[in-house]
Every structure is written in structure tokens, then in C-alpha cells.
Chain A
């Protein structure tokens, strides 16, 4: 049932768009430009994220300092950060009137523009550098401490004997995972890209539907996007992708190398720059947001209510689907983990629009469709957290449950759910935060009385009401973090009892 729904929402909606399209033409110059830009920005973003992450991960793996665990926790934050909020923070630091340009201007230089390829890559690195650090750090921590001791006692090079082989194993997977994420970028390109030179395929789909209502072009682009994502997903499948959510990153390896002043200075610099790169934009969101709170329009309250409602429905759907799929296990989990990552949320939304249009006014269903879409897009991440926990419980207690006849819902209620509360809470937190900050399909269909908070914020930015947009960004940031915290905390309470 769930897997059928996933298939209908991903492949079915693509077919619906193709069916409704009045002839699908070939790829024109604009479409080729969008494809080239999409692949180029994804390659650059993934390469920059991975390369920059190496010194940071190495420094974190071998240095113990005050605030280390806070920094590692912070590395998980960009994943649940609303894209539009992060972009707002990046604009405050790197934008035309940002801190960096102010410094350049004071030094007598010309202000530089963040818009275009540079800005899109910068934003993607902001989101994915932490992910890359976590993945690579996991690789470092997986090297047994005894090996470091052995290499040092032999007088061999730690880099040649241990670090380079580990990096050769971990980096391709990290690169592919980030490449795949950047390939489906929409909100970043919507704000920082645009124009013929900086349009991603997703953005081109949005423009085709929203401005031209050219379903044929949207369908063609959607098929291209789907193809690109499937190829990247298959490549990532064959290259082992390291687990980014792994626990135990707080561990510091006992090391007998890296003690020179030069190495310590390099590590300190890497950590300081990475921390500044993450913290400065967020700090600017908070500072500017507090100033902008008084400028918030009255429409912010209904927008908050809609965002919270959509997040609640979406989270319930995601968790229900993830639990049902985990109970079933096997290939279903793989399909549900892969398809939504390859599908374009805008195409799925358009497909649903096409399907429901003869029966209802699609505009009235915009929020419901958004909740459904957000649930679908969060499902792979929720499954990645819940399915292994489910398998562990079954491996540990499955035979005991079998022997006393625990079946069906009673088995889930008595044996499984109490044992997976932590991952369940974490997954629900992720789903809620992702939904709260989503600026995807809602941008396509929402009428003026159906704005969610991210859409309202985008519209405030578009109408140059920067202070009000900053205030909305702070509210959105707080809501997303609160949503994550409430669910994650709820899952942890008494979970070890």
C-alpha cells in the first residue's frame, strides 16, 4: 500500500504530466543550458564540500578542545535549516551589502555579487560541508587507535599508511551523496540563481509550470531530472556512501602524530574557519531577525499556523509510512529510499495538480499536496534512521517475540516501538523540520491566502522588505529548530529505561 503510493507519487505523477503535455519537443538551447548548469554546480559544490571537509575532519578527529562536541552537534544543524533562512544568512555575510563586501569596500575594492554560479555553489557548500565533515570524520574514527600506535612505532607515515587509504575509500561516496543532493537543488537556485546562465533543471521546471504553464516542457525537463538523479543514485549505490548520521562522533582518537606547532596551527585554523563559516550566517539571521521582528506583517500569523499544520500532517505521514515499510522490510525499503530522491518535487506536485484538477480546484488543495510532498521527500531520510533500528530490534528480540506469539500490531506496540523511540523521535524531528522549512511545491501552487512561512518570507524578500523578511527568517529558524527539538527530545525521554 505504502510502496504503491510512493510509486504513484513518483513515477505515476511523471506519467500524468507526460500524458497531459501537448507534445514533448526536443531539448532546446535553454534546456541544455539548464542541464549543463545543474551538473556543473553539483560537481563544483560536491568537490568543494569534500575537499574543504578533509582538513576540518582531520582536525576534529585528533584535537580535543572546549566546545568540540557543540561544534560537532552544530555540524548537523544545516540539514534541518530552512534553505531560505540559510540563504538569508549567507546574503548577510557574502551579499552585496554583507559583511564581506563591506570589508572589501572599506579596503577600497569593488563589491562582488553573490548571485549566479558562485552564490549557488557557496550556498551548497554551506549546507554540505558539515555533511562531508561528518562522513569523513566517521572514516577517521573507524580507524582503530592501535593502528595509529603501530604506524608511529614503526616510524611510518600516518598519512600514507592510514589516512590516504581511508580517504580513498570514503571520499567517492561522500562526493556522490552531495552531488546527488545538489542535483535536485531548487530553493537555492530560486533565490541565488535564475537567468539563462544560472538556472537549474528544477528551477526551469518551476518556470515552465508557473510562468508559461508549458506542461510539455516541464515533463521533458522532469524526465531529464529523473534520469540524471537515477544515474547519480545508481553511481552512489555502487560506491559505498558513508553513514552521515552515525553516533560516536564525539570520540577523540588517541594520536601520537600531529603534535608539531605547524600541524596544530593548521588544525586550529581549519576548525576556526569552518566554525566561522557556519556560525556567522546563523548569527546574522538572529541579529537581523531580532531587529526585523517589529516589521513583521500581520499575515505572518496565519502563515505560521499553516506551516505548523503542514509540518504536523507531513510528519505523521512520514513516520507512519516509514514504520509500515520497515515492518515489511526488504526491497520495499530500498525502493522507497531511492525513488523520492530521484523524483522532482515540482514534477510530483504538477502531476498531482493534473490528476486532481478535473475533480477539485487544485489551489484549494495546495497545503494538503505540500504536506504529502514533504512527507514523500522526508521518507528516504526517515527510513534511513528507522529501518536499521527496526532490523536491530527484530534481530535481538524477534525470536523471543515469535516464541511467545507476538504478532501484528501487538508485536509493534510491545516489542518494537518502545525500542525504537529514539530513532523514531529523531526521524520525526527531521521530517518536521524539513517540512517546516520547505520552499518547493508550495511556491508553485499557493494562492495569496495559502502562504506558508517560507513562501511569505520569499515574497517579502522579493518585494525588498528586507527587515520583515529577516524577522520572518528568525521565526522560521526558531520554529524549525523547536520542531526538531520537541520530537527528538520526546523520543529520548525515558527511552533507556
Chain B
């Protein structure tokens, strides 16, 4: 269980509170208007942004840990791959940040690349891959990091609808194992329906408790209706 306990984010006029938990083995979509604080919440959990309150993982506070010490992997909107490193090196960073891999570790990198459909592409630089392949490579690194909390800050936003759906399905298949907690930011309710088990709305300075995705979409609360522009 990932808990945000009395979280209080202040940034100038911006103010956001959160007091919710996310169960393991489920994908939760964070939905809300631009500027509501969806990405900020992920940044707080990942350790890039300090806030009042506590982030707890399995009951233990992780608030004071550095980003790399937290049980968290994150994919950003862009710049998920170092353009000067090969795909294998980018993925290998998950195993050793120094890139000094032991004898059997390159094999693990190759296996992970194969599992996301990038067999034989390890020697390429990211620029030689398509947008979808780049996303797969970033996902491969994230999976190889093998951390129990996965944060997706709209990493597939630049992909076309088909490719995005393919990636979300891949996330569902590959990331949702070993009782991981997966949080994904999206502004598209359709993404939430494709990939998420539950939806947590972010609006009016608050992160609301997650509810089952189908229930939220079938019977949208006021906040979601306002966001979708369907409120009367």
C-alpha cells in the first residue's frame, strides 16, 4: 500500500492536499484539468518535490529518501532516454548506474528488450527508433529496475491513439505483476478506461480517493463532469 498522509503541497498561489492510499496490484489513473497538480503529486512521491506530510510505503515513511533510494520508478513526459547512449546502455542503467555491468547482466538487458518487442535493437541509439519503440525502451528500463511503485507521468502523450493504446496494454501486461502499485497521469478518460482499475480525480486543490474506473465513468461525479464539460 502506498499512502499519502496529510500531504500538503504549496507553490505560490497553488495549493493541493492529499490524504489517500493506493492498493498494490492495481493501476490508478490520476485525472484532472491542466494545472490541477497531477504531475506534482507524482513528483512528490518520486522525491523530486518536497511537501508537508508523509509518503508511506508499506507503513514506512519514505519522505526523507533520495529519489534513487525510494521504491519508485518513474517515466516522464519526455527525456526518458539518454540520446547519446545505445538502447542497451539506457536499459542497463536500471541495473548499474555506472554502466559497469557484470558478465550475465547484458543477457538480462537483452531478455528485457525482447520482452517489450525490441529484440536486436540494443545497439541502436534512441534517435534511430520510432516514438513507440523509444517508449518501449524506456518501459524496459523501468521494468528492469524492478521497483514496486511505478509512476507514469504521461510518457505516451506524444504517441498516436493506436500506439498509445498498445503501450498502455503493454504496461498492464508487464507492469502489473508482483503486486506493484501503478499510478498514471492522464487527461484522457479513454486511457483510464483502457488501462486503469481505478480513477483518482484531482481538482480544486485536492486529490480525491480513488474509485473503480468503470463506476466513475458510468456515474461521473461533479468534478469529472465539469472536467469533461458535461455538467448541466
State how many angstroms separate the Cβ of A318 from the closest Cβ of chain B: 24
State how many angstroms separate the Cβ of B83 from the closest Cβ of chain A: 8
CB pair B82–A402 under 8 Å, yes or no, is no
State how many angstroms separate the Cβ of B87 from the closest Cβ of chain A: 13
CB pair A396–B79 under 8 Å, yes or no, is yes
State how many angstroms separate the Cβ of B2 from the closest Cβ of chain A: 16
CB pair A407–B67 under 8 Å, yes or no, is no
With A407-B97, A414-B97, A414-B99 already in contact, the answer to whether A402 and B67 are too (CB < 8 A) is yes
B side interface size, CB within 8 A: 26
A345, B145: Cα distance in complex, Å: 52
- Which of under 10, 10 to 19, 20 to 34, or 35 or more describes the interface residues of A? 10 to 19
* Binary per-residue interface labels of chain A (410-428) against chain B in the complex, 1 for a CB within 8 Å, 0 otherwise: 1100110011000000000
CB pair A404–B97 under 8 Å, yes or no, is yes
CB pair B97–A405 under 8 Å, yes or no, is yes
The closest CB in chain A to the CB of B127 belongs to: A497
CB pair A410–B67 under 8 Å, yes or no, is no
Q: Which of B52-111 touch A at CB < 8 Å? A: 66-69, 72-74, 76, 79-80, 82-85, 93-94, 97-99
CB pair A403–B79 under 8 Å, yes or no, is no
CB pair B76–A402 under 8 Å, yes or no, is no
The closest CB in chain B to the CB of A421 belongs to: B84
A224 within 8 A of B: no
B46, B85, B125: the one within 8 Å of A403 (CB):
B46
B14 within 8 A of A: no
CB pair A415–B82 under 8 Å, yes or no, is yes
Contact partners of A397 in chain B: CB under 8 A: 79, 82
State how many angstroms separate the Cβ of A283 from the closest Cβ of chain B: 41
CB pair A400–B80 under 8 Å, yes or no, is yes
CB pair A403–B68 under 8 Å, yes or no, is yes
A191 within 8 A of B: no
Contact partners of A410 in chain B: CB under 8 A: 97-99
* Binary per-residue interface labels of chain A (390-404) against chain B in the complex, 1 for a CB within 8 Å, 0 otherwise: 000000110110111
CB pair B93–A406 under 8 Å, yes or no, is yes
A399, B45: Cα distance in complex, Å: 13
State how many angstroms separate the Cβ of A197 from the closest Cβ of chain B: 57
| Centre residue among B66, B82, B125 by max chain A CB count within 10 A | B82
The closest CB in chain A to the CB of B86 belongs to: A497
The closest CB in chain B to the CB of A409 belongs to: B98
State how many angstroms separate the Cβ of B24 from the closest Cβ of chain A: 21
A411, B68: Cα distance in complex, Å: 13
A415, B89: Cα distance in complex, Å: 12
A82, B76: Cα distance in complex, Å: 48
CB pair A402–B98 under 8 Å, yes or no, is no
State how many angstroms separate the Cβ of A217 from the closest Cβ of chain B: 54
B66, B84, B99, B145: the one within 8 Å of A419 (CB):
B84
A405, B71: Cα distance in complex, Å: 12
CB pair B84–A497 under 8 Å, yes or no, is yes
With A407-B97, A414-B99, A497-B125 already in contact, the answer to whether A402 and B68 are too (CB < 8 A) is yes
A405, A411, A414: the one within 8 Å of B85 (CB):
A414
State how many angstroms separate the Cβ of B72 from the closest Cβ of chain A: 8
Binding site for B on A (CB under 8 A): 396-397, 399-400, 402-407, 410-411, 414-415, 418-419, 497
> What 10 new A-B contacts, CB under 8 Å, besides A399-B76, A410-B97?
A396-B79, A397-B82, A399-B46, A403-B68, A403-B74, A404-B68, A404-B94, A404-B145, A407-B97, A419-B82
The contact sample of 28 A-B pairs, CB cut-off 8 A, is A396-B79, A397-B82, A399-B46, A399-B48, A400-B76, A400-B79, A402-B47, A402-B48, A402-B66, A402-B68, A403-B46, A403-B68, A403-B73, A403-B74, A404-B97, A404-B141, A406-B93, A407-B68, A407-B97, A410-B97, A411-B97, A414-B82, A414-B99, A418-B82, A418-B85, A419-B82, A419-B84, A497-B127
Binding site for A on B (CB under 8 A): 46-48, 66-69, 72-74, 76, 79-80, 82-85, 93-94, 97-99, 125, 127, 141, 145
